[in-house]
Amino acid sequence: MSIIAKNVTKIYGKQKALDNVSFEIKKGEIVGFLGPNGAGKSTMMKIITGYLPPTSGHIEVNGLDIYEHALEIKKQIGYLPEQNPLYYEMYVKEFLEFVAKLYGIKNVTQRVKEMIDICGLEIEQQKKIKTLSKGYKQRAGLAQALIHNPSILILDEPTSGLDPNQLEEIRQLIKELGKNKTVMFSTHIMQEVEAVCNKLMIIHRGKIVASDSIQNIKNISASSSIIVEFSVSLNEKAFSKLSLQKLEKLSDSKWMIETSDVEISKKLMNIALENNASIITLHKSELKLEEIFKTLTQ
């Protein structure tokens, strides 16, 4: 259940930012929302969290329409916008107490302490937000998004601008949080998705171009590329029964093929048998997620 988007379109003036987008995010999934700049990620997230109305279409969160149950849904969602909404003049602890009170949380001191603990803010809790490093600012932003214990977390590019160490720490934190929450986070970094998520949605020019488990996306969009060398010379005809995306002759006996046929190795063996030959080398390389992303968003 969790999040369902049905035919969501958003038009800003003449700019169509989302074009009939539909998807479903199930309870407990960590979904990477991947797309190049300007693809529509932030727009989608603002709509899901109820901060922006769609031009048309519907969003349901935990079975409720977000516009009929706006307040109730805001309680179930934690949102970290792209521009982390921090009060720079406040101290970390003071800021979190302020947010906790906004949500009407009963035991404020206790909850703030928990958030400081979960988000690893202990050593910085007495500092002013403006003096924090980018990584700690993101932690403070996450603490703010989590303080009311929402079941769903929407994080808009939570790792952008972090250095490699901070990046790794925030990724781990998201993964940890994802153990008992539904998480949707956007990024334009491919490796991040593989490191953190169990599901991937790729958006391009306002349209979802792929949505599935990471493994399935790899299998579907993809094609592996294979280099095969036979013990004899062969011509193109030998491959005519195969369904290939690409066939390239490297030498008389050596060929490069691209196919999504999972039984390709077996079929190449048969070709060798039919020609009284053997296979000398067979080298298979799976298309990397990065390449799939490039293909889908070109």
Site residues (CB under 6 A) for ligand ADP? Answer: 12, 15, 17, 35, 37-43
Do 162 and 170 form a contact (C-beta atoms < 8 A)?
yes
- Check residue 84 for interaction with Mg ion (CB under 5 A): no
Burial class of residue 79 in the structure, from the number of CB atoms within 10 Å of its CB (0-12 exposed, 13-18 middle, 19+ buried):
buried
Least separation in angstroms between CB 99 and Mg ion: 23
The secondary structure of residue 236, as a DSSP letter, is G
- Which CB sits closer to Mg ion, 37 or 251? 37
- Check residue 2 for interaction with Mg ion (CB under 5 A): no
Read off the amino acid at residue 10.
K
Query: Which residues from 4-43 bind Mg ion, rule CB under 5 A?
Result: 41-42
Query: Which residues from 168-207 bind Mg ion, rule CB under 5 A?
Result: none
- Which CB sits closer to ligand ADP, 200 or 272? 200
Q: Which does 12 bind (CB under 5 to 8 A by kind): ligand ADP, Mg ion, none?
A: ligand ADP
Helix axes 134-146, 164-177, angle to 10 degrees: 10
Burial class of residue 81 in the structure, from the number of CB atoms within 10 Å of its CB (0-12 exposed, 13-18 middle, 19+ buried):
middle
- Which CB sits closer to ligand ADP, 38 or 57? 38
Q: Which does 138 bind (CB under 5 to 8 A by kind): Mg ion, ligand ADP, none?
A: none
**Which residue number places its CB atom closest to Mg ion?**
42
Burial pattern 127-149, b for ≥16 Cβ within 10 A else e, equals: eebeebeebbbbbbbbbbbbbbe
- CA 39 to centroid of chain Cα atoms: 13
Q: Which does 50 bind (CB under 5 to 8 A by kind): ligand ADP, Mg ion, none?
A: none
Where along the sequence are the contacts to Mg ion (CB under 5 A)?
A: 41-42, 82
